[in-house]
Structure 1
Amino acid sequence: AYKQAGVNLPASTDALKNAGRQVSDSQKQPGDLVFFNTYKTDGHVGIYVGGGKFIGSQSSTGVAIANMDSGYWAGVYNGRVVRVN
């Protein structure tokens, strides 16, 4: 998604957490990267789309929009938000 917008980002979640500037969870906006503690700290990353939802790629659903405010994702969301400009 970012590449289509002309923004080059690294591929790994470890590198993505440093690819922009961190903002508070309360300031997250559509397009921000949101991180989840899955198999490790910051093990999964998605793109916030607003309304408590993010787009990500999961083995169970493929690329899909998921709710980060309830269920599994709410339990593993760690509050890290990175804004890439």
Structure 2
Amino acid sequence: MRKIFVLISVCGALFGGDLKLDFVSDNGLNLMINSKNYLALEKPCAGWKTGDEIEIIDGDKNAKCLEAVVLNLKTKTTCRLLCDAK
């Protein structure tokens, strides 16, 4: 069990990266992460602010995906996003 935990921790450190929201529109629908545009799919990302630290649960930080699920580490809420939305 200890070996698995160490492996998960190392992988998280290598691939997690510290990401912050570059931009969040006033209505919470348009976001920029890592200089890439994203669009909220189901609901606005309410309470999310520029500079909040995030973690990408599913998707890609370079918007090389169709959809992404992002966790806001400050608000502890997730948002489903359309990747590379211009």
TM over 0.5: no
Query: Which of 1 and 2 has greater Rg?
Result: 2
**TM bucket normalised to smaller:** under 0.3
